[in-house]
Amino acid sequence: MSDNGSVVALPQGIVRSGVQSIDLNSLKLPKKSLPLRAYSMGAISQEQIFTLSLLLFFAILLYGIQTFLHKRELDQLLTQEEIIRGRYHLPATSIELKSILSSLEKVEREQLRMREVVEYALRIPLTSREHLELLRIGKRLQLELLVNSKGRAEIVKSYLGRKLRLTKIELRDKKLFVECEL
């Protein structure tokens, strides 16, 4: 006997003589049958697949809406940025903006330091007959104080020396002239 190109030797009693053809119309099949999905090995039912599909669709839809909203907000911010640049005549490059910002921060630090110095100078502990006659702010802070005595002038000098860099102190009669750095 030859089977798919292989020669097999079998006893003659096993092999029937002649090949019989099967008539498919004459076959009698059982009336009860199982659907093909009963034989499938999948663990997910059709309803679960439908539910997962809906969840995936809604996730994609929400992602699309969120992306659209973010894009709209970004466009609004860019428009506002252009309006601000036009209103204040700001340069377009970030290097120029950083340079302007650093110079303005330097001015801010100087102004804040000047305010602290002036505030400290205005809080000098004076008696009822003593007063501040002159306060001049330039490159240096200049003060003229009318004090009662030389001892009071020393108290004022030590008070100012705690926080300020004094460059010049002079007492004439009862007037104390003080100059300090800002």
Q: For 52-78, how does the pLDDT look when each residue is reduced to its tens digit (9 = 90+)? A: 999 999 999 999 999 999 999 999 999
Q: CB–CB of 166/154 below 8 Å?
A: no
pTM: 0.50
Residue 23 carries which side chain, given as an amino acid letter? D
Give CA–CA dist 135/178, Å, rounded.
Answer: 10
Residue 7 located in a structural domain: no
Whether 154 and 122 share a structural domain? yes
Residue 37 located in a structural domain: no
Residue 113 located in a structural domain: yes
Spatial strand order of the sheet with 131-137 comes to 131-137, 140-146, 175-181, 166-172
| More confident call, 159 vs 18 | 159
Whether 163 and 128 share a structural domain? yes
Output the six-digit token pair for 182.
Answer: 């800002």
Residue 66 located in a structural domain: yes
Note the maximum CA span of the chain: 149
Q: For 85-126, how does the pLDDT look when each residue is reduced to its tens digit (9 = 90+)? A: 899 888 888 899 899 899 999 999 999 989 998 898 888 888
Residue 33 located in a structural domain: no
Whether 112 and 173 share a structural domain? yes
Which CATH number characterizes residue 156's domain? 3.30.1360.100
Domain interval for residue 66: 48-90
Residue 152 neighbours by CB distance under 10 Å: 18
Give CA–CA dist 94/97, Å, rounded.
Answer: 5
Give CA–CA dist 171/147, Å, rounded.
Answer: 9
Rounded mean pLDDT of the chain?
A: 85
Residue 115 located in a structural domain: yes
Residue 140 located in a structural domain: yes
Domain count, the chain: 2
The pLDDT score that the predictor gives to residue 35 is 65
The pLDDT score that the predictor gives to residue 30 is 76
Whether 80 and 111 share a structural domain? no
Whether 124 and 161 share a structural domain? yes
Output the six-digit token pair for 71.
Answer: 């894009």
The pLDDT score that the predictor gives to residue 40 is 56
